Structure 1
Amino acid sequence: MKQLISAFAVSLTLAAPALAQTYAITNGRIVTNTDSGIVENGTVLVRDGDIVAVGAGVEVPGEATVIDAEGGWITPGVFAPYSQLGLIEVGLEDSTNDQAAGESPFSVALDVTDGFNPNGTHIPSQRIEGLTRAAIFPSTGHNIFGGQGGLASTSGEADSVFESGSFVFADLSQSGADEAGGSRPAAWAFLAAALADARGYPGRFAGDHEGDALNRYDAAALLPVARGRVPLVMSINRAADIRRAIRFQEDNAPVRLILVGAAEAWMVADELAASGIPVIIDPLQDLPFNFDAIGASLQNAAHLDAAGVTVAYATLSQDGYFNPRLLPQNAGNAVANGVPWDAAFRAITLTPAEIYGVGDRYGALAPGYAGDVVVWDGDPLEVMSAPTAVLIDGEPTAMESRQTRLRDRYINITDDTPFAYRD
Structure 2
Amino acid sequence: MKKLAVVLASLTLATSALANNYAIVGGKVHTMGSKGTIENGTVLIKDGRIESVLANGTAPQGYEVINAAGKVVTPGFIGALTSLGLVEVSSSSGVVDSSIEKTPISNTGAALDVQYAINPDSSLLAITRLEGMTSAATAINSSHYLFGGLGAIISLSGQSPVLKSAAFMTIDVGSEGAENAGGSRAALWVMLDKVLQEAENASSTLSAEKPWYGLNTRSDVDALKRVLKGEVPLFMRADRAADILQVISFKDRHPNIKVVLVHGVEAWRVADQLAKASIPVVIDPEYNLPGGFDQMGATLSNAARLHDAGVQVAIGMDTHNIRLAAQHAGNAVANGLPHQAGLEALTSIPAGIFGVDNDIGILKPGSFADIVIWSGDPLEVTEAAETVFVGGEPIEMESRQTKLRDRYLSLRKEGNNKPSQYQRSE
Question: Could you tell me the TM-score, scaled by structure 2's length?
Answer: 0.90
Contact 1:259/1:280 (8 A) holds in 2:
yes
**Residue deviations 1:353-401, cap 9 Å, x none?**
0111112221111222211110011110000111111111211111111
Partner of 1:308: 310
Aligned partners of 1:369 and 1:244: how far apart in 2? Answer: 37
2:134 partner letter: T
Question: Which amino acid in 1 is paired with 2:258?
Answer: R
The amino acid of 1:241's aligned partner reads: D
State the shift of 1:202 in Å: 3.8
Give the distance between the partners of 1:180 and 1:70, measured in 2 at CA.
57
Query: Counterpart in 2 of 1:135?
Result: 137
Name the counterpart of 2:334: 336
What amino acid is the match of 1:74? V
> Which residue is 2:288 aligned to?
286
Q: Is the 8 A contact 2:17 2:47 kept in 1?
A: no
Write the mapping of 1:256-267 to structure 2, written as runs, cut at 5 A.
256-267=258-269
- Mapped to 1, the partners of 2:141 and 2:218 lie a distance apart of 21
Deviation, structure 1 residue 63: 0.2
Q: Distance in 1 between matches of 2:388 and 2:379?
A: 16
Aligned to 1:12: none
Structure 1 residues 267 and 59: CA distance shift in structure 2, 3 A: same
Counterpart in the other structure of 1:3: none
Return the offset for 1:140: 3.8
Task: Note if contact 1:195-1:222 (Cα within 8 Å) is conserved in structure 2.
Answer: yes
1:200, distance to aligned residue in structure 2 (A): 2.7
1:17-416 to structure 2, matched below 5 A, reads: 19-105=18-104, 106=106, 107-157=109-159, 159-202=160-203, 207-211=210-214, 213-316=215-318, 320-321=319-320, 323-413=321-411, 414=414
Q: CA deviation at 1:253?
A: 2.6
Of residues 34-43 and 24-33 in structure 1, the stretch that sits farther from structure 2 once superposed is 34-43
In the aligned structure 2, how far is the partner of 1:370 from the partner of 1:93?
Answer: 35
CA contact (8 A) 2:31 2:363 kept: yes
Q: Secondary structure at the match of 2:41?
A: strand
Aligned partners of 1:190 and 1:92: how far apart in 2?
Answer: 33
- Give the counterpart letter for 1:328 in structure 2: A
Q: Structure 2: which amino acid aligns with 1:353?
A: A
Give the Cα–Cα distance (whole angstroms) in 1 for the partners of residues 284 and 370 of structure 2: 24
After superposition, the C-alpha distances for 1:240-290 in whole angstroms (9 at most, x for unaligned) are 111111111111231121110111111111110010111101111111111
Residue 80 of structure 1: CA displacement? 0.3
Contact 1:210/1:216, CA 8 A, preserved across alignment: no
CA distance in 2, matches of 1:204, 1:354: 30
Query: Secondary structure of 2:194's partner?
Result: helix
Equivalent AA in structure 2 for residue 401 of structure 1: S
Q: Distance in 1 between matches of 2:253 and 2:126?
A: 43
Q: 2:193, 2:294 → 1: CA distance?
A: 22
Q: 8 Å contact 1:415–1:422 — kept in the other structure? A: no
Structure 1 residue 416: Cα displacement: 5.4
Runs of 5+ unmatched residues, structure 2: 1-14
- SS at 2:279's partner residue? coil
CA distance in 2, matches of 1:92, 1:202: 43
Q: CA deviation at 1:141?
A: 2.5
Secondary structure of the equivalent of 1:407?
helix
> Per the alignment, do residues 229 and 269 of structure 1 end up closer, same or farther by CA in structure 2, a change over 3 Å counting?
same
Question: Conserved in 1, the CA contact under 8 Å of 2:177 and 2:188?
Answer: yes
Residue 37 of structure 1 deviates from its aligned partner by: 2.2
Question: Against the structure 1 CA distance between its residues 150 and 417, is the aligned structure 2 distance closer, same or farther, given a 3 Å change threshold?
Answer: closer
- The offset of 1:415, in angstroms, is 5.2
* Deviations, residues 129-163 of structure 1 (Å, cap 9, x unaligned): 10001001113422221110010110001x22111
In structure 2, the residue corresponding to 1:122 is in which secondary structure? helix
Residues 96-140 of structure 1: per-residue CA shift (max 9 Å, x gap): 111122132322111101100111111000011100010011134
Instruction: Encode CA deviations 1:301-343: one digit per residue, 9 max, x unaligned.
Output: 1111111101101235xxx12x111111011001100011001
Q: How many positions carry a matched residue from both structures?
A: 401
Deviates most, 16-25 or 382-391: 16-25
Q: For residues 165-201 of structure 1, what are the alpha-carbon distances to aligned partners after superposition, in whole Å with 9 as ceiling and x for unaligned?
A: 0111111110000111101111111211210221133
Instruction: Name the SS for the 1:312 alignment partner.
Output: strand
* Offset, 1:34: 2.2
Distance in 2, matches of 1:140 and 1:188, equals 19
TM superposition score normalised by structure 1 = 0.90
Alignment-derived partner of residue 8 in structure 1: none
- The code of the aligned residue for 1:30 comes to V
Per-residue CA deviation, residues 55-103 of structure 1 (Å, 9 max, x unaligned), is 2222311100111224211111000000010111110111111112213
